[in-house]
Amino acid sequence: MPQIVVEQLVKTYQVAERTPGLWGAVRGVVRRRHRTVRALDGVSFAIERGELVGYIGPNGAGKSTTVKALSGILVPDGGRCEVAGRVPWLQRVAHVAEIGVVFGQRTQLWWDLPVIESFELLRDIYRVPPARYARSRDRMIGLLDLAPLLDVPVRQLSLGQRMRCDLAAALLHAPAILFLDEPTIGLDAVSKLAVRDFIKQLNRDEGVTVILTTHDLDDIEALCTRVMVIAHGKILSDGALEELRARVTRERWLTVDLVDPGVAIDDPEAAEIRRDGHRVCLAFDPQVVAPAELIRRITSRHAVRDLFVENPPIETIVARLYAAHGAAGDTGAGAP
Partner 1 sequence: MTGGALRPYRAIISARFRMLLQYRAAAIAGLWTQLVFGLALIMIYQALYRSSPAAVQPMAFAQLASYVWLGQALLAMLPWNVDAEVRDMVRSGAIAYELARPVDLYGLWYARAVAQRTAPTVLRAAPMVVFAGFVLPLLGAADWQLAPPPSLAAGAGFVAALAAALALSCAISVLVNISLMWTLGSDGVVVLFTTTVALLSGLMIPLPLFPGWAQGALGWLPFAGVFDLPFRIYAGHLAAGDLAIVLARQLGWTVALIALGRWLLGRGMRRVVVQGG
Residue type, position 246, single letter: A
Range in contact with partner 1 (rule: CB under 8 A) among 43-51, 66-74, 200-208, 280-288: 66-74
Q: Which residues touch 81 (CB under 8 Å, ≥6 apart)?
A: 5, 6, 7, 9, 69, 70, 87, 88
Verify binding: residue 97, partner 1, rule CB under 8 A: yes
Q: Where are the beta strands (DSSP E) in the chain?
A: 4-17, 33-47, 52-56, 78-83, 99-103, 177-181, 209-213, 226-231, 234-239, 252-258, 270-276, 279-284, 304-310
Quick one: CA dihedral 230, 232, 234, 236, positive or negative?
negative
Give the one residue of 27, 49, 86, 92 binding partner 1; rule: CB under 8 A: 92
Give the one residue of 17, 48, 77, 112 binding partner 1; rule: CB under 8 A: 112
Give the one residue of 42, 58, 110, 309 binding partner 1; rule: CB under 8 A: 110
Classify strands 52-56 and 209-213 as parallel, antiparallel or unpaired: parallel
Site for partner 1 in 198-237 (CB under 8 A): none
Nearest-approach distance from CB 75 to partner 1, in angstroms:
7
Question: Do residues 203 and 176 make contact, with C-beta atoms less than 8 angstroms apart?
Answer: no
Question: Do residues 83 and 92 make contact, with C-beta atoms less than 8 angstroms apart?
Answer: no
Verify binding: residue 94, partner 1, rule CB under 8 A: yes
Give the one residue of 17, 25, 34, 75 binding partner 1; rule: CB under 8 A: 75
Verify binding: residue 150, partner 1, rule CB under 8 A: no
Site for partner 1 in 28-47 (CB under 8 A): 39
Range in contact with partner 1 (rule: CB under 8 A) among 44-52, 122-130, 139-147, 183-191: 122-130
Give the one residue of 3, 44, 108, 255 binding partner 1; rule: CB under 8 A: 108
> Which residues are 180's β-sheet partners?
102, 212
Write out the residues near partner 1 by the rule CB under 8 A: 13, 39, 60, 62, 64-65, 68, 71-75, 92-94, 96-97, 99, 101, 103, 105-108, 110-113, 117, 120-121, 124-127, 129-130
